[in-house]
Structures are given as structure tokens and as C-alpha cells.
Amino acid sequence: MAAGALGAGVLSRLASRALAQPAGETAVSGSAVGNAATQPWQPVPVLQAEPPSPTRFASSGPGLGNRIAITFDDGPTPGVTEIVLKELDKRKIRASFFMIGRNAERFPSLAKEVADAGHEICNHTYTHPQLSALPAAKAQYEIQKAQEVITAATGHAPKWLRPPYGAFRRKDQGILAQQLGLGVIWWSVDPRDWSQPGVGQIINRVVSATLPGSVILCHDLHPQTAQAVGIILDQLQEKDYNFTNVSGFLGEPYGPYFG
């Protein structure tokens, strides 16, 4: 469902319940298990950075309409991203792809293929460093360089940043993202597919941990993920989940719905 279709009033109310993590954290575990028994989605308090305006942080969506988002990090990867795109297209599902800038630069036609298929294009830094360990100038370079090369490759300027490893210093690095018009998004379901635990494990971890409002973290980096994606999508659809992308949950990070 497109964000604009919900209307400003609804999104305003949803956004106040969907903006992210507890203050002071620099990394996010990503696990949604543990909340399932007590809440159908994860409410997340509003956090503010320093002026000129608040940086938008999120790790999940409101879950209205049984919605979830599936996201893919670290691509584009030849031989893997194409399979993921095919499985998504079979089911008419749109996802969010958090591209490493250097990969988009190396494989611009594949990056453009992701965008042309209607998926949301997002920023995952230029070389995938741990941003929280970097000085301000280096962190700014990583975010801005990725923004430039991903935009050049895809024709779409990212609106969301996902810090590699979830590592991010909110107080001083959040403003770096905000200056580029980027909201910061983590995740709430993490199958650790990057560790290649096996196709069955990836499927089970995603399906068992997903709740309404979940943001699912996967990687279009390894063949195991590509092999698991179709089954994951089918099993979640059988549970009556409706897929959206990050902006489908939250709108544009600095759009009119956040006033």
C-alpha cells in the first residue's frame, strides 16, 4: 500500500508509534522474538537529534493491515540479486534494497534492474564499515559517497540509511544522515542469513519471528538467501501478511506526514 493512500491524518498517528529505538543504543539485535506473546507489533518512541530538525529513526512499522516489510542488504550481487528479484516479481511483492555503494558502482546495470522492478532503493554506506567506530568526516564520506553512486546507478536517491551491523552513534551521526535527507532504519527480524546457517534455518528463523509491523533483514549476498526467499514469501503470505516497503510503513522520513 502506498504511504500517500492512507492519508495525512492516519499516517501522522501511525508515525508517532513507529519511530524507533530506545535512546543510547548504538546497535540493534534485530530479534522480534520475546515480544510476540504480549504485543502484536513493536511500538517505538520518538527520538530527537540536535537541530536543524529531528533525525528519524525506526526499527519496525505499525503493522496496520497485517503489514510487514522485507529488506535486503549488501547487494547488488550478480547471481544472487537476480534470483531474489525473480522470486519477488512472481508474487508481485515490493521490497527495500539497502545497497553498498561500491557494489552499485561495480554493477550499475544490476542496481538499475532493482530500481526498474519497482523496489525501494536505500543506502547501506559506500564500503560497509562500522560507522560508530569512525570519526565524523569519515562517516560522512561513507554515507554521502554511497548516496551519490547509488543515485547515479539507479536514478533514485535513497531516502533511508541502514548502518552496517546496526552500529551508529545517534547523537552526532544522526545529523549526518538528516543532512542528506535520510532517515535511519534498523530491523526487527534477523535470521543471520549472512552466516549461511542453511536454507531451512533461514526460513524457520524468519517465519517464526515475524509479527505484524516486522521489518525483516535479509541479504542479497549469498545463494542460501536466494534459495530461501521464495519459500519465506509463500509461508508469510499463507499467514495473511501483506508486504510493503520501508516507506510504505513510515512515508518519506522528512515528508509532510511528520510535520
Banded model confidence at residue 70, pLDDT cuts 50, 70, 90: very high
Cβ atoms of residues 245 and 213 within 8 Å: no
Q: Which of 190, 219, 220, 222 is catalytic?
A: 219
pLDDT at residue 256, rounded to an integer: 60
User: Exposed, middle or buried, 154 (CB in 10 Å: 0-12/13-18/19+)?
Assistant: buried
Q: How many domains does the chain have?
A: 1
Cα angle for residues 77, 82, 85 (degrees, 5° grid): 115
Helices (H), 6-156: 8-16, 81-90, 101-106, 108-116, 136-154
Which pLDDT tens digit goes with each residue over 7-61?
434 334 334 333 433 333 333 333 333 333 333 444 444 444 444 447 899 999 9
Count of C-beta atoms within a 10 Å radius of residue 22: 10
Average pLDDT over residues 95-106: 98
Which pLDDT tens digit goes with each residue over 189-202?
999 999 999 999 99
Q: Which residues pair with 58 in a beta bridge?
A: 185
Residue in 255, 233, 253 with CA at minimum distance from that of residue 243: 233
Q: Tell me the C-alpha distance between 233 and 193, whole Å.
A: 15
Cβ atoms of residues 226 and 84 within 8 Å: yes
Q: Which of 73, 190, 193, 220 is catalytic?
A: 73
Residue 210 above 50 pLDDT?
yes
Count of C-beta atoms within a 10 Å radius of residue 94: 18
Question: What cell does 21 get?
Answer: 529505538
Q: Tell me the C-alpha distance between 134 and 68, whole Å.
A: 32
Residue 77 falls in which region: left (phi positive, over 0), alpha (psi -120 to 50) or beta: beta
206: containing domain: 3-258
Which pLDDT tens digit goes with each residue over 103-139?
999 999 999 999 999 999 999 999 999 999 999 999 9
Catalytic residue list contains 73 = yes
Cβ atoms of residues 163 and 156 within 8 Å: no
Higher pLDDT, residue 86 or 255: 86
Question: What cell does 42 get?
Answer: 513493536
Q: Tell me the C-alpha distance between 112 and 197, whole Å.
A: 30
Average pLDDT over residues 80-93: 98
Report the CATH number that the domain containing residue 244 is assigned in CATH.
3.20.20.370
Residue 231 above 70 pLDDT?
yes
Cβ atoms of residues 71 and 215 within 8 Å: yes
Cβ atoms of residues 32 and 212 within 8 Å: no
Which pLDDT tens digit goes with each residue over 143-192?
999 999 999 999 999 999 999 999 999 999 999 999 999 999 999 999 99
